[in-house]
Amino acid sequence: MTDLDPEDTAAMRRENGGRDFRLFLRQQIADGRARRTAPAAVKPPPPPGRIPGAWPAGATPPAPRPRRHTDADWLHALDRNRLGHGHDTDLCHCGSCPTTTKETP
């Protein structure tokens, strides 16, 4: 804040017909308003080359994992399990199945 003496005010009113004093006061008002109101926040632009929620440009989703066993293999293992012949050790990789030769039903 600028400290003004009564002599400074009187001198500013005398110079240029009081024009300097009016300009000084207007500038004081503008400075006070600028301190009172915060500038509006500007939203940053989105990153280039990326659409939110989409795959990046030039990329593709991962391919499905290849299947190790066919549907017929799984059906055969299910049939063996239903008939009570135990796990099919060729298809089961649980680690607890015995590693014996394949039984035939």
Helix/strand/coil (H, E, C) string of 40-77?
CCCCCCCCCCCCCCCCCCCCCCCCCCCCCCCHHHHHHH
52 within domain boundaries: no
87 within domain boundaries: yes
CA dist., res. 91 & res. 23, Å (int): 91
pTM equals 0.32
58 within domain boundaries: no
For tokens 């915060």, what's the residue?
38
Show the domain range for 27.
6-36
| Non-local CB neighbours of 28 within 8 Å, separated by 6+ positions | 2
**3-class secondary structure, 39:** coil
pLDDT for residue 87: 56
Total domain count, the chain: 2
Q: What is the pLDDT of residues 23-51, one digit of tens each?
A: 888 999 998 888 887 778 899 887 776 66
64 within domain boundaries: no
CA dist., res. 99 & res. 92, Å (int): 10
46 within domain boundaries: no
53 within domain boundaries: no
